[in-house]
């Protein structure tokens, strides 16, 4: 049986988007209550009945989320232009080595907007 599992995390952070046009509201510094969905995918071993312990996802993602929480994202190396799209890839690239079953990272910037990244291949 092939399945996906999702574990969600939240962090509070500020950013400004330097590539947006002058005068655009996102060019000014502002903050969000971000939600990060970490999605893993794989075949469930019949003898276990589960794909992965949610605690393993928490252990892998926790330090990354902590690095983002209550920060100005523009000051983090690799996030100088912290769009939702680029944040998803940044998180994915750091998480994949510790979480081989990683399928997707989804960043919710607001209640109604999100970006998702599934890797290059």
Listed as ranges, residues in the chain with pLDDT below 70 are none
Structure confidence at residue 99 (pLDDT): 98
Q: What is the 3-state secondary structure (H, E, C) of 7-38?
A: EEEEEEEEECCCCCCCCCHHHCCEEEEEEEEE
CATH code of residue 101: 3.30.479.10
70: annotated active-site residue: yes
**Chain-centroid distance, C-alpha 15:** 15
pTM: 0.95
Marked catalytic residue, from 41, 67, 104, 109: 109
Q: Which two tokens stand for residue 5?
A: 């599992």
Marked catalytic residue, from 26, 41, 67, 104: 26
Domain span at residue 62? 2-117
Structure confidence at residue 116 (pLDDT): 98
Structure confidence at residue 13 (pLDDT): 98
> How many distinct structural domains can be found in the chain?
1
Marked catalytic residue, from 24, 30, 70, 75: 70
109: annotated active-site residue: yes
């Amino acid at each position: 049986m092939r399945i996906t599992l999702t574990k969600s995390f939240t962090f509070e952070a500020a950013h400004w988007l330097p590539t947006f046009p002058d005068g655009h509201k996102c060019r000014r510094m502002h903050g969000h209550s971000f939600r990060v969905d970490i999605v893993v995918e794989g075949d469930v071993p019949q003898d276990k009945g589960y794909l992965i312990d949610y605690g393993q996802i928490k252990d892998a993602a926790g330090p990354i989320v902590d690095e983002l929480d209550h920060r100005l994202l523009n000051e983090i190396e690799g996030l100088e232009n912290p769009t939702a799209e680029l944040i998803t890839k940044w998180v994915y690239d750091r998480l994949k080595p510790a979480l081989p079953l990683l399928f997707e990272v989804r960043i919710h910037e607001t209640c109604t907007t999100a970006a998702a990244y599934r890797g290059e291949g």
